[in-house]
Structure 1
Amino acid sequence: MSQPGNAATETFVAHRNLLFTIAYEMLGSAADAEDVLQETWMKWIGVDLSTVQDRRAYLVRITTRQSLMRLRTLGRRKESYVGPWLPEPLLTAPDVAEDVELADSVSMAMLLVLETLAPTERAVFVLREVFDLDYDEIADAVGKTPAAVRQIAHRARGHVAARRPRGSVSPTDARDAVEAFHRAIETGDVQGLLDRLAPDVVFLGDGGGIKQAALQPITGAEAVAALLAASLPRIGREMSAELAAINGFPALVLRLDGEIDTVIAVHVDNGLITGLYSVRNPEKLSRMARETILHR
């Protein structure tokens, strides 16, 4: 017969990937998600399991509440962030791409849309739309009534629908775009890449004040093309480039002297690149050494 401590550990380990995924989708930061899991564990081991009817729901509730508290702190941190703030990229396992809804929900483009939600709206949207929790479970997790949660969910869906990328990211289109980027670096075919840019493409660079990056979004094919045309020759000479699965979709990883320097994710709509997300802040590249398992 399992001891209570063993049962608590086994339950936590069984749901750890789910809890991490919830925290990451709420925070956009793997480092903060790991901190939330540590806080969840510390609270979980103090619970009398004989009083818990649904252990998974109980763990989700703890994780959500800890994420909400950290989300508010993170918001204050972002106010003083140098330049655009981008989510922390994750090197993801191939099975993430196979779950279309999960991959879409953790894509850079979607995480940036979630950033525009208020903390409770974000929690409700993630728990309902991504993890399909019922309203009663969500109400317990966010400390609201089920009726209030329904209203928040409706408002959040409308907010996301108005701001989300025009269409779901096609892995095939994303791969083609990233491969075009790769070819441009290796062969100097800048025009081949520029032809893939949508007229309203947006480039975001995140250096966090540590590495050089654009301090403002670069908008429009002409401006983004000029930036890329200036950058690609340097990348081709000084850096190596490789394809990788980042946040469920193909992306480009640039290395300098063998160390990861930049991760470039893309959003593609109707075959054209509508978003380029370049993360250079070294504090956000620590999760690139190993695959992260995400789970719904």
Structure 2
Amino acid sequence: GKRPDKVKPPRFKKKSNRQSARFTRNSFRFKNGVLRLSKIGAIPIVWHRRVSGEPSSVVLSMTPAGRYYVSFQVEQPLPVVGPASHRLSVDMNTKTFNFFNGRRWSQVWLPRPWLAALSAHKRLSRCEQGSKNREKARSRVAHICQRVTDLRTDFLQKLSTQLIHKNQVIMVETLGTKNLLKNRRLARAISDAGFGEFVRMLEYKCKWHGRTLVKVARFFPSSKLCCICHQKNVDLKLQDRWTCSSCHTEHQRDENAVVNIFVQGLRILAEGRSVLACGGTVRPKREFRRVPAKQETSSEVSGHAA
């Protein structure tokens, strides 16, 4: 079939990037907890969990921080999670995750690792290219960044798993992370929040456990729309509280947004749009067909209304 996007030049692996090698079934042996790889031999492993079943392939990888990992591809049935009756909407910002049930999770706070990273980056920039001291400084920066990544991933994994186990339908807002990162004053805070990674975790976990993930459109004014009278505040800035000019209701920005996301998600479900367990609403592409030139309209559009 046709490619959805324009074909880009190939990206080749670099020596300085994450290094990895894949071993197929005939190039490794796994027996009694000992792994033997072809041309490498037996390697010592610190096991994080038991491997049940027969692995079909093994991937050996090294991170920029110098850590080596071995991942096994094993076919296993997914754990059974009972059905849930709750529906929940999530509003994401750089400080907290706000939920429709009134709960709030604070983002993982990483001031000390980032201060250490700032100092390590300064030292790295002053080292001579190709020197051993530069390699030591680079390794120090990589270890700090890996620590930050591990803390963020651990927080997002625990939060997404808890939401999946307790809710049947989860509604989130589609955010244009790339566009948000153009704001140099908020770029670091937005990157630390991990909006895209959190939604990605929800997508594959919904697939695993038969949950439904509803994605509200990116340009839906969840914060600007009054949840009481649906009056839109066009001039809304970044302040936390604002008062509706129509019904004079005082709103807290995040609480108002999570209510609007919940209502919009229910509207998407009620309208009968196809909602996949892995993503948002699905609409067929519009088809354009020609009509006789004598008629007033020059073209007719068939498909769902926008």
TM surpasses 0.5: no
Higher helix share: 1
Look at both structures and tell me which one has the larger radius of gyration over its CA atoms.
Answer: 2
- Answer 1 or 2: higher relative contact order, Cα 8 Å, separation at least 6: 1
Question: Normalised by the shorter chain, which TM-score bucket?
Answer: under 0.3
Higher strand share: 2
TM-score, structure 1 normalization: 0.19
